[in-house]
């Protein structure tokens, strides 16, 4: 499938996620926190299931970093969530775009679309003085 199509579908799924998360205003921030941790866990799963034995440590380190960022976003400033989601989009493309034998490239591109959408949306909300 075309890279632009995969990324665009990811953006659309991200928008749908935003709309769904907004249905639970009291839980919206928590959903972004949980989602960021799950996004990192998925790559650990790919490494465990696929041919990623050499990458387990890298993926676990990613999980640790994104987990810390997510918790910082939960307990402190939601800017950490915006940064974490945007950084995860970079993780998808730079680390997994075409470089790992275990993470499906189409998934990495799609996920980057979702992640970037969440990161930009959270930053927009915070810049607009609307808390998450």
Residues 6+ apart with CB under 8 A from 118: 14, 17, 18, 32, 35, 85
43, HSE (Cβ side, Cα atoms, 13 Å): 30
Note the pLDDT of residue 98: 74
What does each of the 132 residues of the chain score in pLDDT, given as a tens digit?
A: 799 999 999 999 999 999 999 998 889 999 999 999 999 999 999 999 887 778 899 999 999 999 999 999 999 999 999 999 999 999 999 989 877 888 899 999 999 999 999 999 999 999 998 777
Q: 17 lies in a domain?
A: no
Q: How far is residue 50's CA from residue 106's CA, in Å, rounded to a whole number?
A: 15
Note the pLDDT of residue 27: 92
DSSP label at 111?
H
CB 120 within 8 A of CB 65: no
- Enclosing domain of residue 111: 29-127
Q: 101 lies in a domain?
A: yes
Q: Domains in the chain: how many in total?
A: 1
Token readout for 13 is 């799924």
Q: 67 lies in a domain?
A: yes
Q: 4 lies in a domain?
A: no
DSSP label at 130?
-
Q: 24 lies in a domain?
A: no
CB 10 within 8 A of CB 113: yes
Note the pLDDT of residue 109: 96
Note the pLDDT of residue 3: 93
Q: 46 lies in a domain?
A: yes
65, HSE (Cβ side, Cα atoms, 13 Å): 13
Q: 16 lies in a domain?
A: no
Q: 20 lies in a domain?
A: no
């Amino acid at each position: 499938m075309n890279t632009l199509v995969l990324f665009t579908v990811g953006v659309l799924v991200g928008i749908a996620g935003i709309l769904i998360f907004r249905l639970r205003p009291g839980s919206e921030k928590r959903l972004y926190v949980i989602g960021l941790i799950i996004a990192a866990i998925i790559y650990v799963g790919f490494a465990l299931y696929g041919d990623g034995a050499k990458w387990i440590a890298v993926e676990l380190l990613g999980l640790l970093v994104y987990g810390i960022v997510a918790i910082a976003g939960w307990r402190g400033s939601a800017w950490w969530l915006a940064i974490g989601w945007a950084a995860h989009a970079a993780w998808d493309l730079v680390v997994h775009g075409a470089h790992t034998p275990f993470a499906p490239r189409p998934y990495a591109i799609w996920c980057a679309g979702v992640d970037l959408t969440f990161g930009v949306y959270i930053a927009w909300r915070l810049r607009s003085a609307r808390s998450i």
